[in-house]
Chains A and B, each alone.
Chain A
Amino acid sequence: MDSSDIGAGDRMIRAQALTKTFGDKVAVDAIDFTVRPGRVTGFLGPNGAGKSTTMRMILGLDAPTAGSVTVNGHRHQTSPAPLRSVGALLDAHAFHPGRSARDHLRWLAASNGIPATRVGEVLELVGLESVARQRAGRYSLGMGQRLGIAAALIGDPPVVILDEPVNGLDPEGIRWVRALARRLADEGRTVFISSHLMSEMAMMADHLIVIGRGQILADMSTEDFIAAHATSYVRVKSPARTAVAELLTRSGLDVEGVGDALHVQGLDASAIGDLLHHDSLPLHELTLVRSSLEDAFMRLTADSVEYRSKVGAVTAGAAA
């Protein structure tokens, strides 16, 4: 390679059949995904789903058991200019408590031949200039996150990875991270952010990769994900339950009886009300119910648990 291809990486994260096992436990199960530039990609999954392990493999900290992952066109282990290629926040307290923020950023800069002037720039960017000479051990969790983000950006990298960046941040800090992620993506960078909070990701990410039990459950735009998973229905209660159900079914609507209520999909509440009124059927309740994204996410990952245990049983049978 000559030096020209250092800056001209593909700006993507590409995982192919990426697998990590710890003893018998499969933490990451042969996953394939591509994280693209110019947008914020959310990496969403419950705790223990394999998010952090995947991120550690991207950065060459954990070696994959099988498969591979490249970032900006390289396996990170062979990157000619690691921090200029990818910057990461992995752990809010990945610094020595006795060292100042400024010194922490100074050694990071030096390790990749980044001019020391960049230290002041990233300190300003994350708003830590005034406390930059304090020992980092005295920082709050939020200040630690800001230092971690400064460290991730020190090499001005085309790929930025943030593991649970809003943990421990106050609402102002969360807004700040959201705006920063947006700006980084708008600058054409690849932004890969993990979270176990669906609602947070829905606000921050353009694209979602959902992982559960080490497998990819969804890889689609946030918009499509919401359309596919955040269902809404109208709850209808009527003393003439059977007649109402017949009428709505006959009108081509999707009707499900739940307790003494009917859950109706396919028409909005006012239209359903009009329909019942037309047939003079009594109506006691008519409510639009939106199931939250969080619910959709829980359903999705809960399904993966069932699916996984079936697969496990089949595999065990085949092995025996």
Chain B
Amino acid sequence: MSTATQTVAVGSEQAVHRQGFGDVLSAEWIKLRSVRATWWTLAALVGLGAGLTVVVCWGNADWLASPEADESPGAFLTWGMMIAQITAVVLGVLAVTSEYGTGMVRATFAAVPRRGRVLAAKSLLVASLLFVVGTLTALIGYFGGNYFLDREGIGMALEGDVLRAMYGSGLFMAGLGLLSIAIGTLLRHTAAAITITIGLCFVVSNMVALIPGAIGLFLERVMPGSAGTVIATPVSFNPNLLDAWPSFAIFAAEIAVLMTLAAVALRRRDA
């Protein structure tokens, strides 16, 4: 093979490209783009996140405008994101576990032996993608849903807490993606990681509210499924939770802890 011979000779004399984080980032971006699951989950995020918000605002607008309403219209303006969070979990988990399921992870780590770079690149890409798509989805949901609220004279302007909930939705989705990457890295199994992450965020986070007293209240406030959502809603359904940014700080700290565990496990375990 003439090309091969030629390059071997070159390789021994010339400086060869040294692998950097940018290389790993572009490799992971090609991986993410080149499977359909990425596009299906993002399409589902937009469909569920914006679509359900519009439907729920349409269905509740006249009740919210009536005197017997006991919820703020603001609680409904990003309602769909609470369901769409499942897609963020799927995207984050699959970014990692699909490699373990197929054995491709060995090709990945042979190509990028500094494994932390792979985790960092996946995290950066999934979080960025979810932030952008999550924010856009919230905006589409807002414009669609607020149209029906406006008709009843209870529309909310895109400012203050409403505006914060827009990019807050992006932050929540990005955070969930990171949480899912960390759990996927720790468990290395698609079904287990999706089940546990969704169970943690949907089921356990809501069930701890049943625990009475101060402990129950504390747990309710710090569970990732609760702490993460506050920033994504203009007005929270749950009055027990802390304000948006303190809640988000708790959520971010939990992600940091899990991500650290994931990075340590990734370096220590055989691939």
Contact = CB atoms under 8 A, between A and B. Distances in A.
Given A3-B16, A112-B19, A62 B102 contact: no
B6 to A, nearest CB: 9
A167 B213 CA distance: 64
A299 B37 CA distance: 51
A107 B107 CA distance: 11
Contacts of B210: none
16 contacts: A7-B10, A7-B15, A56-B106, A59-B113, A62-B270, A77-B114, A93-B103, A95-B107, A96-B35, A96-B99, A97-B102, A111-B24, A111-B26, A113-B17, A156-B3, A187-B5
Contact of B18 (A80, A96, A156): A80
Given A95-B104, A95-B107, A112 B270 contact: no
Given A82-B19, A110-B26, A111-B19, A61 B11 contact: no
A300 B35 CA distance: 47
7 pairs of A and B residues whose beta carbons are closest in the complex: A111-B27, A103-B34, A113-B17, A3-B15, A107-B30, A62-B270, A110-B27
A81 B102 contact: no
Contact of A98 (B5, B37, B106, B268): B37
Nearest to A188: B8
Interface string B159-191: 000000000000000000000000000000000
A103 B112 CA distance: 17
Contacts of A83: 110-111
A79 to B, nearest CB: 6
Given A4-B15, A84-B16, A111-B112, A90 B106 contact: yes
Q: Is the interface of B mostly helix, strand, loop or mixed?
A: helix
Contacts of B107: 90, 94-95, 108, 151
B110 A60 contact: yes
Interface in A154-172: 156, 158
A305 interface: no
Nearest to B12: A7
* Listed residue (B12, B28, B106, B110) with the most chain A CB atoms within 10 angstroms of its CB: B110
Contacts of B112: 82, 111
B118 to A, nearest CB: 9
Interface of A: 3-4, 6-8, 56, 59-63, 76-84, 86, 88, 90-91, 93-100, 103, 106-108, 110-114, 121, 125, 151, 153, 156, 158, 183-184, 187-189
B30 to A, nearest CB: 4
B37 A121 contact: no
A79 B112 CA distance: 9
B63 interface: no
Nearest to A113: B17
B68 interface: no
Nearest to A103: B34
Nearest to B10: A7
A113 B15 contact: no
Contact of A7 (B13, B103, B270): B13
B109 interface: yes
Given A8-B12, A63-B270, A81-B16, A98 B35 contact: yes
A183 B4 CA distance: 10
Contact of B104 (A7, A96, A158): A96
B66 interface: no
Contacts of B24: 111
A132 B104 CA distance: 18
B7 A156 contact: yes
B151 interface: no
Nearest to B7: A156
A220 B174 CA distance: 56
B13 to A, nearest CB: 7
Nearest to B108: A111
Contact of B20 (A82, A108, A113): A113
A106 B109 CA distance: 16
B27 to A, nearest CB: 4
B158 interface: no
B34 A61 contact: no
B23 interface: yes
Contacts of A106: 30, 34
